[in-house]
Chains A and B, each alone.
Chain A
Amino acid sequence: MKKLVFYSVIVFVLLLAACSEKPEPAANDDTNTTEAKETNQITLAIGEEPEQGFDPTTGWGRYGSPLFQSTLLSENADLEVTLDLATDYQVSTDGKKWTVMLRDDAVFSDGEPLTADDVVFTYETAKQAQSVVDVANLEKVEKNSEHEVSFYLKEPQSTFIHTLQTLGIVPEHAYDSNYAEKPVGSGPYKIVEWRKGEQLIVERNPHYYGEQPAFEQLTFLFMGEDQAIAAAKAGEVDVLSVPITSADQSIDGMNRISLESVDNRGVMLPYPEPTTNEEEEKVGNAVTSSLAIRQAMNYAVNREEMVDGVLNGEGTVAFSSVDGLPWGSDKAVIEDNNQAKAEQILKDAGWERGDDHIFEKDGQRASLPLYYPSGDQMRQSLSMVFADQMNDFGIEITTKSSSWNEIETQMHANPVMMGWGSHNPIELYSLYHSSMQGIDYYNANYYHNEKVDSYLDQALNAKTENEANEYWKLAQWDGSTGLSAVGDAPWVWLVNLNHIYYINDHIEMDDQKVQPHGHGWPITDFITEWQWQD
């Protein structure tokens, strides 16, 4: 009997020992990395995996650094235009011809030189893909010499500069159906390995024409938010992005930074009366097609309460999708949390409170669903608070948690909690121009205003950015109509979210831009300039 106990204990101890013994091979490249090794490679856990891969012609690299590829032009922290692959560029007087001169020392990571042919190839490929609105206006792109390219636009387009700033150049000789998985480019880093669902490993591109970045290797981890925080606490992560819902961590050896953004959230309201579109999908909504309802919501809602309550102060109130950007209009700002005014707007339009305190008009109750994507805590909380505020005011809102698939079938006819935010003013065009109705997620509420359309067209076709900004602002409010809350109010914009990161004490980053939509990758914008400080 004693023997049995003894044996059991032996076996148990052996098992434990087997379990806790650290395998030798891993000892020198695992958690016990030495400081010296740590300084030339860093680990980032900054959210979503770019599952579609790394092909710029289908949208990779629009936010943050494309890492593997480089762009013709670039943008500094003050959103000013800077040169990258280009040594110079010119726009013709009619705004339809853009000529870009290329540097002659740019080489792809496989050693092949980058020439005008690659630029032409990239833009033609993107044009065929039809995924980027800006390229739709590109009539043709021609090579003038090995190092000079001309872009011919169908119409003048002020925002074309943003395309030049964001579209990474791909190599014609190494572009095939596997490109998205195994990109070759002229950017500061080249891909080593992408273990899908787990990590992406990149290393310095020795052929990079610019200044070599300070870090030899970057590893991007793709793990859940909670696991990423745990990994950071265990000292395995150098750059961590956290959602606002868990923004109060204390992690030894890491600094917390909170960056302002135009990453906004708002409720999109279907604009027309109920009907159907060509694809037999339901479009429009009997309640939200009423201007009074849309404006009343904008005036009755208490945005400050959302910033304090839901975001814990980590954000700002939003009155448009372009708050604080050079093309944002201060006329879009309204005095909200004003139930009296909201009620007056409704009463003037013939809405009356029923027995249950909910507004009615001609037998139509002001009752709406509000869809939000399941699994997004932030949007869920915002939806709940918005619904509470509206129910108290007298517009009945029922929140509905759904998959994006389901939302796509409902979003033309029902309110949805959406989010946008970009450094490119074209987003205003995409969200509000009637030609963009029902394309992808753009203008999914089928907003349509002739006057606004014409301002948006003029902004897009302006020859200078300043002129364009004037028209972008007019589209929001020109004194009598506009797409903002004082005008047609097709959206109830609520908040701009701050982006919160924890960064290793030793890593020095310079200023960041106002962050666009999509928390995570934008932080990599100036990754080539990060330094290690002992």
Chain B
Amino acid sequence: MARYVLIKIARLVSLLFVVSLLTFLLVSFSPIDPVRAYIGADMLLISPEQRAAIEAYWGLDQSLVTQYTKWLGSILSGDFGTSLIYRIPVAEVIADRFFSSILLMTMAWICSGVIGLILGSLAAMKKGTWIDRLIRGYCSVLLSTPGFWLGLLLLLTFSVWLGIFPTGLSAPIGVTSDEITFADRIYHAILPAITLSIIGIANVCLHTREKLVEVLMTPYIAQARANGYDGFTLLKRHGIRNMLLPAVSVQFASFGELFGGAILAEQIFSYPGLGQAVVDAGLEGDVPLFLAIVLISTCFVFVGNWIADLLYVLLDPRMRKGRNMS
């Protein structure tokens, strides 16, 4: 097991290395002059000597290889640099936004998992009936709905028209940080989370349905039915474990989409999270902030996939046979 964990960590590290290198290269090929970007609007406040000092500090007079190793060195020492947009350490910019984004994604993720599972099982158990057709139709419509359009629709309906939810932001208007409760944060994350989970629901639901339909055709289910089991009991005793597999793998493998979707949802609802920060960073050439968020999101997606692997092993005894766990 220890060896397995070590291998995984080695993989993550190598992945981060490659991603950071690629990002770094892309950024270096972009028309953004890093010093200009670093100094930003203070171009005039900087004397030529200072500029030269900064260039030397970044090693811009050296080769790309040297530059990259320097940047890597400061990252490894835990220094993500200073955000160019906000003039404060990147870590500070990310801290609060990280919480907002994680809250949003967690809510969306749980929502899509639970509802997707329920709807999927329901459709499979009632295969061929109007319920099944309704759920499948609903999923197909959702899958082909553009997320931003749906978000705007929710915004117009629930915030502007009905006034049930706030129109945006991650906290009530005009209330200071120490007065904001966790409930406030959740309340403000609901609409973006629904927007974000809608697509996920359809994915999990359809996968679950397919698998359960398959399971329900197996001989042991026929046996169980003959023994008088029916409905929910049957599902509980013989169906759940088998049908959870695809659902779980889809759920955890969807971390990447989750992050991508969050960028969109945060834009629609002016919800200040990592997604919005990465868009701002990209548009304004805030290189340090951009790289930091890229690394965080890479870790996030990697861990998601890793958990999916692990759960597979836990849920499916057949996977353990070869002890082939990486």
Contact of A201 among B31, B126, B174, B269 (CB under 8 A): B174
**B31 engages A403 (CB within 8 Å):** yes
CB neighbours (8 Å) of B181 from chain A are 23, 25-26
**A405 engages B176 (CB within 8 Å):** no
The answer to whether the Cβ of B257 comes within 8 Å of any Cβ in the partner chain is no
**B272 engages A198 (CB within 8 Å):** yes
Complex Cα gap A268–B41 (Å): 21
Complex Cα gap A4–B269 (Å): 36
**A201 engages B176 (CB within 8 Å):** yes
Complex Cα gap A223–B97 (Å): 15
**A58 engages B272 (CB within 8 Å):** no
The answer to whether the Cβ of B72 comes within 8 Å of any Cβ in the partner chain is no
CB neighbours (8 Å) of B85 from chain A are 51
**B168 engages A231 (CB within 8 Å):** yes
**Tally of A-B Cβ pairs under 8 angstroms:** 156
Q: A4-B231, A25-B181, A409-B31 are in contact. Are A227 and B125 (CB under 8 A)?
A: no
CB neighbours (8 Å) of B125 from chain A are 1, 4
Can you list 14 A-B contacts (CB < 8 A)?
A4-B235, A15-B114, A25-B184, A26-B183, A29-B174, A129-B45, A193-B177, A195-B171, A201-B174, A201-B176, A223-B270, A234-B163, A405-B31, A408-B36
The answer to whether the Cβ of A81 comes within 8 Å of any Cβ in the partner chain is no
Complex Cα gap A8–B179 (Å): 37
Pick the interface stretch among B63-71, B154-162, B295-303: B154-162
The answer to whether the Cβ of B99 comes within 8 Å of any Cβ in the partner chain is no
B218 to chain A, nearest CB (A): 19
Contact of A12 among B44, B115, B173, B184 (CB under 8 A): B115
Complex Cα gap A199–B32 (Å): 29
Complex Cα gap A81–B237 (Å): 85
CB neighbours (8 Å) of A43 from chain B are 173-174
B171-195 interface (Cβ within 8 A of A): 171-177, 179, 181, 183-184, 186-187, 190, 194
Choose among B32, B45, B159, B270 the residue with the greatest number of A CB atoms under 10 Å from its CB.
Answer: B270
The answer to whether the Cβ of A53 comes within 8 Å of any Cβ in the partner chain is yes
CB neighbours (8 Å) of A439 from chain B are 44
Complex Cα gap A231–B186 (Å): 19
B267 to chain A, nearest CB (A): 7
A379 to chain B, nearest CB (A): 15
Complex Cα gap A398–B167 (Å): 39
Q: A1-B125, A11-B114, A405-B285 are in contact. Are A25 and B167 (CB under 8 A)?
A: no
CB neighbours (8 Å) of B45 from chain A are 58, 129-131
The answer to whether the Cβ of B133 comes within 8 Å of any Cβ in the partner chain is no
CB neighbours (8 Å) of A30 from chain B are 166, 172-173
Complex Cα gap A4–B163 (Å): 34
**A375 engages B231 (CB within 8 Å):** no
B216 to chain A, nearest CB (A): 12
CB neighbours (8 Å) of A26 from chain B are 172, 181, 183-184, 187
Contact of B276 among A31, A197, A233, A402 (CB under 8 A): A197
**B111 engages A15 (CB within 8 Å):** yes
The answer to whether the Cβ of A20 comes within 8 Å of any Cβ in the partner chain is yes
**A23 engages B31 (CB within 8 Å):** no
CB neighbours (8 Å) of B176 from chain A are 192-193, 201
B interface, CB within 8 angstroms of A: 31-33, 36-37, 41-45, 85-88, 93, 96-97, 111, 114-115, 118-119, 121-122, 125-126, 155-156, 159-160, 163-164, 166-177, 179, 181, 183-184, 186-187, 190, 194, 230-232, 235, 267-270, 272, 276-277, 280, 283, 285
**A23 engages B163 (CB within 8 Å):** no
CB neighbours (8 Å) of A221 from chain B are 169, 173
**A130 engages B44 (CB within 8 Å):** yes
**B160 engages A233 (CB within 8 Å):** yes
CB neighbours (8 Å) of B166 from chain A are 30-31, 234, 236
Q: A12-B118, A15-B114, A52-B41 are in contact. Are A198 and B164 (CB under 8 A)?
A: no
Q: A197-B280, A199-B169 are in contact. Are A230 and B174 (CB under 8 A)?
A: no
Question: Could you tell me how many residues of chain A have their Cβ less than 8 Å away from some Cβ of chain B?
Answer: 62
CB neighbours (8 Å) of A223 from chain B are 168-169, 270
Contact of A198 among B167, B171, B283 (CB under 8 A): B171
B203 to chain A, nearest CB (A): 18
Complex Cα gap A403–B285 (Å): 9
Complex Cα gap A7–B236 (Å): 13
CB neighbours (8 Å) of B119 from chain A are 8
Complex Cα gap A231–B235 (Å): 46
**A23 engages B184 (CB within 8 Å):** yes
**B174 engages A41 (CB within 8 Å):** yes
Q: In chain B, what residue has the closest Cβ to A37? A: B174
CB neighbours (8 Å) of B184 from chain A are 23, 25-26
**B114 engages A23 (CB within 8 Å):** no
CB neighbours (8 Å) of B267 from chain A are 224
A176-233 interface (Cβ within 8 A of B): 180-181, 192-193, 195-199, 201, 217, 219, 221-224, 227-228, 230-231, 233
Q: In chain A, what residue has the closest Cβ to B175? A: A29
Complex Cα gap A21–B88 (Å): 37
A481 to chain B, nearest CB (A): 30
The answer to whether the Cβ of A235 comes within 8 Å of any Cβ in the partner chain is yes
With A230-B167, A234-B160, A405-B285 already in contact, 8 other A-B pairs whose C-beta atoms are closer than 8 Å: A5-B122, A20-B190, A26-B181, A26-B187, A53-B87, A197-B97, A221-B169, A224-B267
The answer to whether the Cβ of A440 comes within 8 Å of any Cβ in the partner chain is yes
A1-21 interface (Cβ within 8 A of B): 1-5, 7-8, 11-12, 15, 19-20
B135 to chain A, nearest CB (A): 11
Q: A1-B230, A405-B32 are in contact. Are A227 and B115 (CB under 8 A)?
A: no
CB neighbours (8 Å) of B170 from chain A are 198
The answer to whether the Cβ of A467 comes within 8 Å of any Cβ in the partner chain is no
Choose among A233, A234, A409 the residue with the greatest number of B CB atoms under 10 Å from its CB.
Answer: A234
Q: A23-B183, A199-B169 are in contact. Are A31 and B232 (CB under 8 A)?
A: no
**B187 engages A219 (CB within 8 Å):** no
CB neighbours (8 Å) of A230 from chain B are 155-156, 159-160, 167-168
CB neighbours (8 Å) of B88 from chain A are 181
Contact of A195 among B36, B115, B155, B177 (CB under 8 A): B177
**A234 engages B167 (CB within 8 Å):** yes
Complex Cα gap A94–B97 (Å): 56
CB neighbours (8 Å) of A196 from chain B are 86, 93, 272
Q: In chain B, what residue has the closest Cβ to A53? A: B87
The answer to whether the Cβ of A173 comes within 8 Å of any Cβ in the partner chain is no
Q: In chain B, what residue has the closest Cβ to A128? A: B45
Q: A8-B122, A51-B85, A130-B44 are in contact. Are A236 and B167 (CB under 8 A)?
A: yes
Q: A223-B168, A403-B32 are in contact. Are A19 and B194 (CB under 8 A)?
A: yes
Q: A4-B231, A236-B173 are in contact. Are A23 and B36 (CB under 8 A)?
A: no
